[in-house]
């Protein structure tokens, strides 16, 4: 697309425990800088409240999926580019995947006619352009249309919906990007993993925490926030990510013993806000990390005697995920399988009208609501 669009076709969808705006790539400018500026204005950034756009004043509700038909990959039906739109800064990042919005990509592809429904259930093979990884999403399509209703329930989302089963093809990146099961970073013993999302696993008690604190309590603790950021910044180069001070990866997950019969309790930072649940790919990283011999999860996690399924506890419930970890040809741990059940729901399908002009900081301070309304930095 060329020129400055004054209106853009858009589908707003909840995917997993996130919410985002889904676009066809052809409906957005080809130039990445022009595209990002447009998306900032569509989402209402930069503004802590995103009052003039679609964003919901939180990283979990300020997300974008850009979908297209690949012309060079017979292994995929559609390409999916995830973009994280910052809430209160002029920033759009493509440095990570989002497994939650991924749950809506298959249904969106059918809605837009990129993939034809094929019987009672349709499977869509998705290439995640951020990393090149592949996933297959399977969801109900009776009568040739996506059916969003069903009995599947996921923690962090009210009500029930149709299940979207997502199976991830094993990635090419090493599970242990530093080559070690443990690293000492900023004086803290951690395990760095990448199972679709670069993630640093940290024992909660190493930070003087129980691991059961609420997201609000953790975000209000300036000492914890500063220490986590030091760990994140030092982990970046070790994980092959370079200088991460201006990016949203790696994520950080605090681990503590399970409280409700699961495998582990988590508190995940994305990277500065504490997730009210946990992302799909973040959970995939945690689940794989729990099975790494010599990792920091030893003595914390309670692994089942049989099977690949693990229950990852988080602030609003749990996420069940199946992850198999074996040994690669080089003798290092490698992931053989990752699968998860998510849900998605179409909220709005129509036309969005972006704010005119270029995205720029607001002229003055925005009125603030209570503490939960304001992004913690």
370 inside domain = no
Look at residue 231 and tell me whether its pLDDT is greater than 70.
yes
Statement to judge: residues 166 and 194 lie in one domain:
no
β strands within the chain, DSSP E: 8-15, 18-24, 63-68, 78-85, 92-93, 121-128, 133-140, 163-168, 183-185, 188-194, 198-203, 251-256, 264-269, 309-314, 317-327, 333-352
Contacting residues for 53 by C-beta, under 8 A, at least 6 apart: 41, 42, 43, 44, 45, 47, 354, 355
Average per-residue pLDDT in the chain? 92
367 inside domain = no
Quote the number of domains for the chain.
2
Mean pLDDT value of segment 184-192: 98
Return the percentage of the chain with pLDDT > 90, whole number. 81
146 inside domain = yes
Statement to judge: residues 157 and 231 lie in one domain:
no
Q: What's the pLDDT tens digit per position in 64-77?
A: 999 999 988 899 99
Statement to judge: residues 188 and 64 lie in one domain:
no
* Band (122; pLDDT cuts 50, 70, 90): very high
C-alpha–C-alpha distance, residues 204 and 334, integer Å: 25
* Band (375; pLDDT cuts 50, 70, 90): very low
Contacting residues for 175 by C-beta, under 8 A, at least 6 apart: 193, 194, 195, 288, 292, 325, 332, 333, 334, 335
Look at residue 363 and tell me whether its pLDDT is greater than 90.
no
Statement to judge: residues 190 and 165 lie in one domain:
no
The answer to whether residues 278 and 117 touch, using CB atoms and an 8 Å cutoff, is no
C-alpha–C-alpha distance, residues 322 and 343, integer Å: 16
Contacting residues for 187 by C-beta, under 8 A, at least 6 apart: none
311 inside domain = yes
Mean pLDDT value of segment 265-290: 94
Look at residue 367 and tell me whether its pLDDT is greater than 50.
no
Mean pLDDT value of segment 156-176: 91
Statement to judge: residues 321 and 244 lie in one domain:
yes
Statement to judge: residues 306 and 356 lie in one domain:
no
DSSP β-ladder status, 78-85 and 63-68? antiparallel
* Band (246; pLDDT cuts 50, 70, 90): confident
Look at residue 114 and tell me whether its pLDDT is greater than 70.
yes
The answer to whether residues 241 and 93 touch, using CB atoms and an 8 Å cutoff, is no
Statement to judge: residues 275 and 148 lie in one domain:
no
Residue 225 dihedral angles phi and psi, to the nearest 5°: -60, -45
The domain spanning residue 322 has which CATH number? 3.10.310.10
Find the domain containing 144 and state its range. 8-170+344-362
Maximum Cα interatomic distance, the chain, rounded to a whole number of Å: 59
* Band (102; pLDDT cuts 50, 70, 90): very high
Contacting residues for 178 by C-beta, under 8 A, at least 6 apart: 192, 238, 239
Q: What's the pLDDT tens digit per position in 83-93?
A: 999 999 999 99
What confidence score (pLDDT) does residue 116 get?
A: 97
Mean pLDDT value of segment 160-180: 92
What confidence score (pLDDT) does residue 3 get?
A: 65
Statement to judge: residues 146 and 229 lie in one domain:
no
339 inside domain = no
373 inside domain = no
Statement to judge: residues 210 and 293 lie in one domain:
yes
Q: What is the separation of C-alpha 55 from the centre of its chain, rounded to a whole number of angstroms?
A: 16
Question: What is the pTM (predicted TM-score) of this model?
Answer: 0.77
What confidence score (pLDDT) does residue 358 get?
A: 78
Look at residue 372 and tell me whether its pLDDT is greater than 70.
no
Statement to judge: residues 58 and 126 lie in one domain:
yes
What confidence score (pLDDT) does residue 373 get?
A: 33
Statement to judge: residues 259 and 131 lie in one domain:
no
Look at residue 311 and tell me whether its pLDDT is greater than 50.
yes
Statement to judge: residues 126 and 216 lie in one domain:
no
- Report H helices in the chain: 32-43, 99-111, 215-219, 222-238, 280-290
* Band (18; pLDDT cuts 50, 70, 90): very high
Mean pLDDT value of segment 322-342: 89
285 inside domain = yes
371 inside domain = no
């Amino acid at each position: 697309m060329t020129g400055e669009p004054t209106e853009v076709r858009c589908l707003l969808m909840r995917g997993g425990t996130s919410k985002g705006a889904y676009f066809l790539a052809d409906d957005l400018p080809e130039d990445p800088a022009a595209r990002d500026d447009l998306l900032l204005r569509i989402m209402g950034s930069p503004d802590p409240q995103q009052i003039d756009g679609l964003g919901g004043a939180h990283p979990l509700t300020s997300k974008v999926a850009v979908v297209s038909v690949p012309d060079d990959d017979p292994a995929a039906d559609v390409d999916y580019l995830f973009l994280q739109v910052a809430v209160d800064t002029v920033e759009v990042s493509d440095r990570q995947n989002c497994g939650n919005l991924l749950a809506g990509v298959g249904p969106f592809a059918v809605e837009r006619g990129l993939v034809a429904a094929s019987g009672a259930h349709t499977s869509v093979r998705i290439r995640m352009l951020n990393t090149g990884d592949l996933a297959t999403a399977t969801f109900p399509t009776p009568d040739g249309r996506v059916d969003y209703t069903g009995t599947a329930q996921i923690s962090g989302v009210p009500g029930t919906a149709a299940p979207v089963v997502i199976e991830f093809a094993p990635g090419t990146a090493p599970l242990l990007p530093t080559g070690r099961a443990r690293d000492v970073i900023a004086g803290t013993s951690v395990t760095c993993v990448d199972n679709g999302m670069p993630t640093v696993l940290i024992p909660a008690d190493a930070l003087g925490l129980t691991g059961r604190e609420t997201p609000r309590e953790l975000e209000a603790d300036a000492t914890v926030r500063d220490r986590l950021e030091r760990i994140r910044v030092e982990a970046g180069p070790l994980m092959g990510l370079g200088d991460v001070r201006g990016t949203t990866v790696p994520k950080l997950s605090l681990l503590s013993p399970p409280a409700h019969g699961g495998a582990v309790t988590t508190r995940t930072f994305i990277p500065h806000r504490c997730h009210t649940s946990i992302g799909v790919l973040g959970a995939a990283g945690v689940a794989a990390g729990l099975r790494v011999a010599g990792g920091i999860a030893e003595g914390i996690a309670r692994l089942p005697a049989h099977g690949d399924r693990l229950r990852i506890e988080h602030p609003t419930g749990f996420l069940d995920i199946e992850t198999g970890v074996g040994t690669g040809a080089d003798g290092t741990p490698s992931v053989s399988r990752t699968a998860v059940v998510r849900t998605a729901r179409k909220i709005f399908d129509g036309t969005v009208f972006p704010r005119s002009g270029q995205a720029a900081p607001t002229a003055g301070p925005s009125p603030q609501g209570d503490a939960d309304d304001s992004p913690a930095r």
